[in-house]
Structure 1
Amino acid sequence: MDWLSVLPPLAAIAIAIWTRNVYWALGFAILLAETLAAGFNPALGALASVDRAAGVFTDAGNTRILLFCLIIGALIAYLERAGGFRAMVRWLTTSGTAAGPKRASGVTAASGVVLFIETNVSLLATGLLGKPLFDRLGLSRARLAYIIDSTCAPVSVLILLNGWGAFILGLLAANGVEAPLGVMLGSISLNFYALLTLALVAATILTGRTFGPMRAFDDAARAAPAPREDEAATETGGSLAAFLVPMFILVGGAIGFMWWTGDGNILRGSGSRAILWSVILATAAAFLFAARVPALRGKLVETGFDGMGKLLPAVTVIFLALALGDSLRALGTGVFLSGLASNLPMPWLLPAVLFLTACLTSFTTGTSWGTYGILVPVAIPLAVGAGIPLPLALAAVMGGGVFGDHCSPISDTTIIASLASGCDHLDHVRTQLPYALLAGAAATVLYAAAGLLA
């Protein structure tokens, strides 16, 4: 397929930006990918698209992600109706912990750093915490989505005591690297994109200033009236335990279940199982707190389904994104893109080229995991042949993978960040992309310089 294999993801991005309708964009990209795979036969492509969509559920991990995203809607509904959010925001504000915009943003970002163990848990926990704080202080949901997304994803590849670290170690060992742990640890300080992204988040928090399209959202948020308190929460006054207990179960359960499913090794645990089990338990706990609210008696099940219904559009986007990812893998999009980095006239440019190739691959396919699976086996022999240190080449691939994972409109991580913060998905992509491009441009220069000095 060669160049034709990149048409579906490029079409998805173009249609999403043009129409601001991500459903049409993803659906058309799946149809185009399957039509190309079917020898340019649109009828067969349409039938194959249906099979591809149905095939999403043949992967238990995909099914768990979709169930998790539905159930989290019920959790949010119970936390809101039991007054948990209101009580937590009141405590953070009155205690001075998050009394102003800088402190509220700092608390939210710090939560994302602490919860490095699993990206989706981190995104959801920090989003649930930050949303009422940002609303009360007149900060935009777009800024919240940017802070949690640009904290949680980069931290996951810097503090590698998680599934990402285990995956990278496995790839290095499988491709003949003698000291994989040392190479992985050596890549941390060279992961320029992740470090620069976190630095931009810190600068945004400390200065309170934003640029690009996000500034208009900030201005609108400051001019908007304060949100009306939830009636049930007002009636009961809210309980701090109604927030803390479910959140402790969500985060603690995810870590505990990863340890359990990994037979005592968190790195080997199943993230999808852990997060689904923990969100079910957290929702059950939130249900019990909501049951104590008189106004909710007889309406608890309805409340949960209402919460899930609000997240159905986001779940649909994730479902389509997963189907598109499968189509692109079958089409060979990532393999083709990785091959572009192999014909280099100047070997010292290899780290920069690997980084840009990983950026393009992850942005157009929406997956860092897939990018690593494709490019790490390619990067190792290229680095050895060019005389480039393996940690530098690995850092370039990992940083580029994060670029797409946290700002591509078809990435499940980007979608979950939008979901957790209550921000329109395309608004989140549009406001975060200038920051990602700035960090990406600076990282490219640094990788070129590092390759020259290596």
Structure 2
Amino acid sequence: MEYGILSILPPLIAILLALTTKQVFISLILGIFSGTLIITDWSFFAAVNMTLEEIVAIFSEGWITKTIIFSFMVGGLITVISASGGVQGFIEYLTKKRDVVKDKKGALLLAYITGLVIFIESSITSLVAGTVARPLTDKYKVSREKLAYVCDSTSAPVCGLIPLNGWGAMLMGVIGVQIANGVVEGTAAELLAKSLPFQFYSIIAIIAVGYYIMTGNDWGPMAKAEKRATEEGLLLRKGATPMVSEEATATPPKEGVTPNMWNMILPLVVLISMMPLSLYITGEGNILQGSGSTSVFWAVITAVTFAGFLYVLTGIMNLKEYIDYVYQGIGAIVPVAILLITAFAIGNVIGYLETGEYMASLVEGRVSGAFGPAIVFIMASLMAFATGTSWGTFGIMMPIGIQMAVAMGAPLYPTIGAVVSGGIMGDHCSPISDTTIISSMASASDHIDHVNTQLPYALANGALALVLYLAAGFIM
């Protein structure tokens, strides 16, 4: 059944309510309910039942369940690392022993560099950057919104530009289908590699983050947030609710423990190194064919287990204390998990309504080839904004984009790059995006405050990217 313009209503309702009420969970539930109302032909009780069933049904998807468990275990890992004195030791090393981080610029650069060098998976990138830098950005009165922006805008863009990860596997998979169907020629790796220079939004976003860190020339809501943090010492807006509790994000070292940065570095090294190893194993020897969801799941389980052995065997804490701290961290992540569950559920409902296909049908075959990359970028951005998923956007828009490019005579590589960049840009703007939610969690920021402060930057970067896609379309 085709739902036409009605398919746009559920994500629109969820997004508008989230931005106006700042109650993301309620907004997502109402978005899901509005979608099920449409699907059940406006039957109230049937829609209520379907809403509840859809929330339960997401656990039938293995990769979703692994992502949620991953979030829980990361909460436990962050808390137990803090309790071990690892975070405090790292801060003392950088600020007192080495005098490396002296001010807010240095603290933000630490998050920025961490985001650039850890390109194995966007969620891990955000979480590690936030965990490592947050104590220092708090110390130098950086707003949580600014840290969330740095974590968010150096995660997905970097993973997209350096696709030696699950992102690369996913993108080559959807491109490969078009090659197998005879739409285009070549290899998936070749087409993806040649499209990388045309991921204009990702490139601009990474450069922009560095610019705002180095110059401090913030504007719009971000400038107000930074002024509040600097002048009033308020890292969060009055009345704001951090995605995870302050107790969990600032767990003091266990009494009697000597701060030691290696108590943080070693578990994080295990977390990071397990990701490519897991991709290699799940890809049966091909890292680019590995399972991203399984790999992050294995990586965090291994890191939490390693931390337990490290802390217990070295006498930092006993087994009961270790388990208690892990439970404490898991408990702090419950609000995040609830938002992820409802975000995934509304994504499924939007899939039933075929929102993405309807949006793409509005322009397919109606424009000149020279406008192809720009049109695809706009459509991918709107789709990711409405659906809250960049990967879902890739799955829908990559076949459409490649087929449009061939039919319209549009340049192929910029079109592929436009699909990836558009998916990432829309994700950066959407309050129902799982990666945006995780970035809010990593920085302990209020989620809607993060969205509101990042949105103007993302739109400005997107406008510049759009101009470049227009230029590429006409020049090539």
Q: TM-score normalised by the shorter chain: which range applies? A: over 0.9
Q: Does 1:430 align with 2:452?
A: yes
C-alpha deviation, 1:101, in angstroms: 2.3
Q: Does 1:360 align with 2:382?
A: yes
SS of 1:236 mapped into structure 2? coil
Alignment of 1:10-409 (within 5 A): 10-93=12-95, 94-176=97-179, 177-179=184-186, 180-222=188-230, 223-224=232-233, 231-232=252-253, 235-291=256-312, 298-409=320-431
Aligned counterparts of 1:269 and 1:421: Cα–Cα separation in 2 = 29
1:83 aligned partner, one-letter code: G
- % identical equivalent positions: 35
SS of 2:198 mapped into structure 1? coil
Asked if structure 2 preserves the Cα contact closer than 8 Å seen for 1:351 and 1:447, the reply is yes
2:354 aligned partner, one-letter code: G
Aligned counterparts of 1:453 and 1:231: Cα–Cα separation in 2 = 57
Aligned counterparts of 2:54 and 2:234: Cα–Cα separation in 1 = 45
SS of 1:423 mapped into structure 2? coil
Q: CA 1:41 to 1:134, structure 2 compared with 1: closer, same or farther past 3 Å? A: same
SS of 2:154 mapped into structure 1? helix
Asked if structure 2 preserves the Cα contact closer than 8 Å seen for 1:232 and 1:295, the reply is no
Aligned counterparts of 1:345 and 1:111: Cα–Cα separation in 2 = 41
Runs of 4+ in 1 over 4 A off after TM superposition: 225-231, 288-298
Aligned counterparts of 2:367 and 2:123: Cα–Cα separation in 1 = 40
Aligned counterparts of 1:446 and 1:340: Cα–Cα separation in 2 = 23
Aligned counterparts of 2:322 and 2:414: Cα–Cα separation in 1 = 53
State the TM-score, normalizing by the size of structure 2: 0.91
Aligned counterparts of 2:309 and 2:177: Cα–Cα separation in 1 = 47
Asked if structure 2 preserves the Cα contact closer than 8 Å seen for 1:78 and 1:290, the reply is no
Q: CA 1:332 to 1:240, structure 2 compared with 1: closer, same or farther past 3 Å? A: same
SS of 1:98 mapped into structure 2? coil
C-alpha deviation, 1:224, in angstroms: 1.7
Asked if structure 2 preserves the Cα contact closer than 8 Å seen for 1:188 and 1:395, the reply is yes
Aligned counterparts of 2:286 and 2:473: Cα–Cα separation in 1 = 35
Q: Which moved more, 1:228-237 or 1:350-359?
A: 228-237
2:451 aligned partner, one-letter code: V
Asked if structure 2 preserves the Cα contact closer than 8 Å seen for 1:371 and 1:401, the reply is yes
Aligned counterparts of 2:283 and 2:428: Cα–Cα separation in 1 = 26
C-alpha deviation, 1:343, in angstroms: 4.2
SS of 1:175 mapped into structure 2? helix
C-alpha deviation, 1:371, in angstroms: 0.7
| Aligned equivalent of 1:452 | 474
Q: CA 1:46 to 1:388, structure 2 compared with 1: closer, same or farther past 3 Å? A: same
C-alpha deviation, 1:345, in angstroms: 4.0
| Aligned equivalent of 2:240 | none
Q: CA 1:230 to 1:320, structure 2 compared with 1: closer, same or farther past 3 Å? A: closer
State the TM-score, normalizing by the size of structure 1: 0.95
Deviation digits for residues 19-68 of structure 1, max 9, x if unmatched? 11001100001111111011121211111111111110101111111111
SS of 1:12 mapped into structure 2? helix
Q: Which moved more, 1:341-350 or 1:252-261?
A: 341-350
SS of 1:256 mapped into structure 2? helix
Aligned counterparts of 1:49 and 1:297: Cα–Cα separation in 2 = 41
2:185 aligned partner, one-letter code: E
1:146 aligned partner, one-letter code: Y
Q: Which moved more, 1:134-143 or 1:92-101?
A: 92-101
Equivalent position to 1:441, from 448, 451, 463: 463
Asked if structure 2 preserves the Cα contact closer than 8 Å seen for 1:101 and 1:208, the reply is no
1:31 aligned partner, one-letter code: F
Aligned counterparts of 1:239 and 1:142: Cα–Cα separation in 2 = 28
C-alpha deviation, 1:181, in angstroms: 2.5
Aligned counterparts of 2:367 and 2:82: Cα–Cα separation in 1 = 58
Aligned counterparts of 1:122 and 1:203: Cα–Cα separation in 2 = 20
2:371 aligned partner, one-letter code: L
